[in-house]
Structure 1
Amino acid sequence: MKTELPTSRAELKERWADFKTTNPKTRIRDAARELGTSEAELVATGSGENATLLSGDFRDLIREVGLLGQVMALTRNDHVVHERKGVYENVSFNNHVGLVLGPDIDLRLFLGDWKFGFAVHENERHSLQFFNSFGEAAHKIYLTEKSNREAYDALVARYRAEDQDVNLFVKEKPESAAEQIEEPALDKAAFQQEWLALKDTHDFFTLLRKYKLSRSQALRNAPQGYAWQIQPESLKAVFEGTSERQVPIMVFVSNQNCIQIHTGPINKIFVMGPWLNIMDPDFNLHLRQDAIDQAWVVRKPTEDGVVTGIELIDKDGVMFNQFFGKRKPGLPELPGWVRLIEDTVIKK
């Protein structure tokens, strides 16, 4: 006999159903915030109906996602949604850090806090959805019209939790603290010298930790000619220039549990309300322009030459989106990307 839902969960299920009726276009992440709960808890209200709790080692599950064929990978944070179609290929793990290195699906996975997993079907859409211990979405995988549905059903059956009525114990996330305005005590000359001596863009994180700087504090103290603050609204001109000139780019979106990367051209760009959108057949990006507190062009030395990127930072000092010209280790950055940045945001 099926166990009755606990009263609190039953009440949440009813509130969630009412909310969807009156707010059909609100995204579930935003709905969770308005309802004072987490996205994982909202998904769990569908247990036994449209949601199946998953168990087991999620590393093993991710290794099997390639069996599904083409899927759509989705990673987001509070301000931007990154959706990319492709096949999960070349999957590997070092402890709880994973890589997916296909030509289309390109991910860095940090599974140390992938706490909950569900298979979800709603409005004819089937997906695998993973959440951290705060109930926030870490990563989602949606079937497409080209996916192998039989392989998906078999995978869900293999990882289906025996008990589907388990309550989720979701931790309360502490409030994020706004960045301190005061500049820290800094040996600026030493910091700039180390910036100019960088060999890899990833070494920039080590530099920030060493000098105990936030992202924007570091950019404000950059060597001359290595960081420019630009107008957030100029990002649309960069997108349009990228499309018109067909300059392939790299688009990074991250949260604490996943980094998702698109590499290639972009074409269809438009604005709808606060959202700046890229809507191509295999790649979609939805970016809240009103979340951009600071936008920067940043140059970092590497063994392959200087790499130029655009970094977006929110009001709490968190970098939430990055853009580069298409490049691979061992190759210099695209001259066309550098010219585009100069023409659209630096010279203006």
Structure 2
Amino acid sequence: MTAAASEPIPSLQQRWADYRREHPRAWPRDAAAALGVSEAELLATRCGDGVTRLEGDMTVLLLRLPSLGDVKTITRNETAVIERRGRFERVEISGRMGQVVGEEIDLRLFLDHWAACFAVRDESPRGVRRSLQFFDRQGDSIHKVYLEEDDRLPAYEALIKAYQSADQEPVFRPQGATPSATPKPDDAIDVVAFRDAWDGLTDVHGFHGLLRSFGVTRTQALRLAGAERARRVPPSYLTHVLGSAAERALPIMIFVGSRGAIQIHTGPVHRVEPLGAWLNVLDPRFNLHVRTERIAEAWIVRKPTEDGPVTSLELFDAAGETVAFLFGKRKPGQTESALWRDLLSELPEASP
């Protein structure tokens, strides 16, 4: 046995400490990717050192989040991050689904995926940051809630006391993801019937059922829909859409989701800035960050509803996973903004 082979393998705690010294500004998610583990695995190594594992009925915990007052919420996927400051106003749970409905914090929750929660205390140059961080069974982030008001610290600590787990072992054991179903080949889809069913939609929320009934993936559906229903555009036009919406003070809706949550911004965007690999919206109470080189497909999609057609910009990564959806601001019973539709009509066809 060589001397190198006999050396002990560094613990994950030590590897993370070494990584932080070399990359002091790296986010935990990026550190986890670099170290080949999930973010929850990395965070769990700090149990007892600024991190507390929580357990219990997470639905009841969610119902208590309004007690935290003004917070910052973060939901992300591999390509996009959405951040919003505001209050948890109306939290509603029905079975394994939930929603938070408010002017600023607006969420749709898929609770079957919520598997772990940690209370996290971080030291930063700006002071102490306290958060509740939720993860799925694979250890990927679902949603994060950061305390913003110091006078709400007693409410935050009361949540930790109520849900603190007896198990503070500095380990998280991720489970493998359920394999995705193999999509049908295009020639196995009755395209005429599919398009007829699309044209028969009366609500955008019926689109998921349409995909399921025909056994198609979302990007496959857009390919098969026909140009009058879905038109492919260059991924770079996200920059044009956000910039134009800002210039025109046009209120829009931006949806960004993880496996267990979708977070929605409704309203105008103001400060749109590219920075390195990221395209950013840097408004006082709303931030969006998108790694534009990871957007593989962008589509202008038109769906019928009882209130008239609704048009969206839909973004996907190379695996066909959703990055973000953008709509014009509207509520049920309202027609779509003509200004939003005109903005999207400016986008040319993508090159083959």
The answer to whether structure 1 residue 142 and structure 2 residue 142 are counterparts is: no
Shift of 1:90: 1.1
Match in the other structure for 2:46: 46
> 1-side partners of 2:30 and 2:134: how far apart?
17
Shift in CA distance, 67/10, structure 1 to aligned 2, threshold 3 Å: farther
What whole-Å deviation, never above 9, does each CA across 1:272-330 have from its counterpart, x for those lacking one?
A: 12111111011111101011111000000011110000000111112221000011111
The answer to whether structure 1 residue 254 and structure 2 residue 257 are counterparts is: yes
Q: Is the 8 A contact 2:45 2:171 kept in 1?
A: no
SS at match of 1:329: coil
Shift of 1:110: 1.1
Shift of 1:333: 1.1
Match in the other structure for 2:14: 14
User: How do residues 298-337 of structure 1 correspond to structure 2 at under 5 angstroms?
Assistant: 298-337=301-340
Superposition misfits of 4+ residues, deviation over 6 angstroms: 174-177
SS at match of 1:281: coil
> 2-side partners of 1:176 and 1:276: how far apart?
30
Which stretch has the larger CA shift, 15-24 or 338-347?
338-347
Matched AA of 1:321: A
Which stretch has the larger CA shift, 213-222 or 240-249?
213-222
Aligned to 2:155, which of 142, 151, 161?
151
SS at match of 2:284: coil
User: How do residues 158-169 of structure 1 correspond to structure 2 at under 5 angstroms?
Assistant: 158-165=162-169, 167-169=171-173
Shift in CA distance, 284/25, structure 1 to aligned 2, threshold 3 Å: same
Shift of 1:101: 0.6
Match in the other structure for 1:92: 92
Q: Is the 8 A contact 1:234 1:345 kept in 2?
A: no
What whole-Å deviation, never above 9, does each CA across 1:101-130 have from its counterpart, x for those lacking one?
A: 111111111111211111001121110001
User: How do residues 1-348 of structure 1 correspond to structure 2 at under 5 angstroms?
Assistant: 11-123=11-123, 124-145=128-149, 148-165=152-169, 167-173=171-177, 182-345=185-348
Determine what percentage of the aligned residue pairs are the same residue: 43
Q: Is the 8 A contact 1:97 1:110 kept in 2?
A: yes
Matched AA of 2:55: S
Matched AA of 1:61: L
Q: Is the 8 A contact 1:310 1:323 kept in 2?
A: yes
Matched AA of 1:163: D
Shift in CA distance, 55/204, structure 1 to aligned 2, threshold 3 Å: same
Matched AA of 1:215: R
> 2-side partners of 1:293 and 1:224: how far apart?
19
Q: Is the 8 A contact 2:46 2:170 kept in 1?
A: no
Shift in CA distance, 14/224, structure 1 to aligned 2, threshold 3 Å: closer
SS at match of 1:232: coil
- TM-score, with structure 1 as normaliser: 0.92
Shift in CA distance, 21/166, structure 1 to aligned 2, threshold 3 Å: closer
Matched AA of 1:57: D
Matched AA of 1:101: V
SS at match of 2:188: coil
Q: Is the 8 A contact 1:69 1:147 kept in 2?
A: no
Shift of 1:146: 6.8
SS at match of 2:17: helix
Shift in CA distance, 176/125, structure 1 to aligned 2, threshold 3 Å: farther
SS at match of 2:139: coil
What whole-Å deviation, never above 9, does each CA across 1:248-293 have from its counterpart, x for those lacking one?
A: 0100011221111110100001111211111101111110101111
SS at match of 2:236: helix
What whole-Å deviation, never above 9, does each CA across 1:169-217 have from its counterpart, x for those lacking one?
A: 221347879x879524222211111111101111111111111111121
Which stretch has the larger CA shift, 182-191 or 245-254?
182-191
- TM-score, with structure 2 as normaliser: 0.91
Q: Is the 8 A contact 2:41 2:173 kept in 1?
A: no
> 2-side partners of 1:146 and 1:341: how far apart?
43
Alignment RMSD: 2.2
> 2-side partners of 1:147 and 1:298: how far apart?
45
Total equivalences in the alignment:
340
> 1-side partners of 2:140 and 2:151: how far apart?
26
SS at match of 2:300: strand
> 2-side partners of 1:295 and 1:336: how far apart?
20
Shift of 1:145: 4.3
Shift in CA distance, 9/162, structure 1 to aligned 2, threshold 3 Å: farther
Shift in CA distance, 192/139, structure 1 to aligned 2, threshold 3 Å: same
> 2-side partners of 1:132 and 1:9: how far apart?
28
What whole-Å deviation, never above 9, does each CA across 1:48-67 have from its counterpart, x for those lacking one?
A: 11101111111111111101
Shift of 1:9: 11
